[in-house]
Amino acid sequence: MFEIRTRTARVLVQLVATILVIPFVFPLVVMVKGAFAGEGLGNFTAVLQVPGFARFFLNSIIIAVVVVALVYVVTMMAAFGFAKLHIRFREIYFWLLLACLTLPEVVLLAPLFATDIRLGLYDTYWAVVLPLAALQVPFAILLTRNFINSLPDELFEAARVDGANSFRGFIYLVVPLTRPIAAAVVIFTLVAAWNNYLFPLVFLQSPDLQTITLVPQYFVGQFSNDQTKILASAVITAIPEVVAYLSLQRLFERGLSAGAIK
């Protein structure tokens, strides 16, 4: 974006970037230092040896993947509808959705619990997946609607003139062109689902459904607190998320939009 023609400019840009990033690195360094304190790598092996760790990891993956898939499909459809299609009372529906964002999680526990029992969902993956998805969807729609709005109408009209209906327009136009924002939505939803602690705690009963966010609990008690292992478990928990972020990076590059208009 910046034009960097001279060497001084290049050094300056690098310097500015580095200075801005230092405050971010500082707490991370403190944290990693803490994770290696005491027993060093032993902390990490202790975390991995928590009984059932592999199972927790798997459960977290299952829940996260289902939530991301559900949110992606529902969001893309809804954002497309809000941005490009005709809906009576459209803004009212939109604000209805937005209101869902305002609820603190803790307020939802009792009503969600009652619903789960009634629908027989308590102690199943769905008891966690559905509320997580429901909470993420408005946020994702808010972001995606913007993005789709800025896609030129002519594209869709051209497609319609060619005989394509909304559905084909969706598959062949919206999905490819929204890659960058879709990547953002996937990442944020993944993080929210992976890190969620309260819902698995309250809605999952059997030990073989527990998620990885419950692992630090093994190291905290009323009268004890094993910081080193907690930090080690935080590092281990973070790794899949960072890996996902890195692999989605290429989707943030300019997509096919340049070619489509021409």
- Both tokens of residue 41? 């790598």
Q: Does 61 bind other proteins (CB under 8 A)?
A: no
Binding flags for other proteins, 180-199, as an x/- string (CB under 8 A): xx-xx--xx--x---x-xx-
CB 118 within 8 A of CB 153: no
Q: Are 212 and 57 in contact (CB under 8 A)?
A: yes
- Residue from 54, 220, 247, 256 that binds other proteins (CB under 8 A)? 220
Contact 125, 215 (CB under 8 A): no
Name which of 17 and 162 has its Cβ closer to other proteins.
17
Q: What is the DSSP letter of 170?
A: I
| Distance, C-alpha 3 to centroid of its chain | 33
Q: Does 75 bind other proteins (CB under 8 A)?
A: yes
Q: Which residue in 41, 65, 110, 171 binds other proteins (CB under 8 A)? A: 110
Among 45, 54, 65, 153, binds other proteins (CB under 8 A): 153
Residue 92 sits in the site that holds other proteins (CB under 8 A)? yes
Binding flag, residue 21, other proteins (CB under 8 A): yes
Residue 85's φ and ψ, nearest 5 degrees, are: -115, 170
**Secondary structure letter of residue 207 according to DSSP:** G
Instruction: Name residue 225's beta-bridge partners.
Output: 220
Contact between 175 and other proteins (CB under 8 A)?
no
Is residue 117 part of the contact set for other proteins (CB under 8 A)? yes
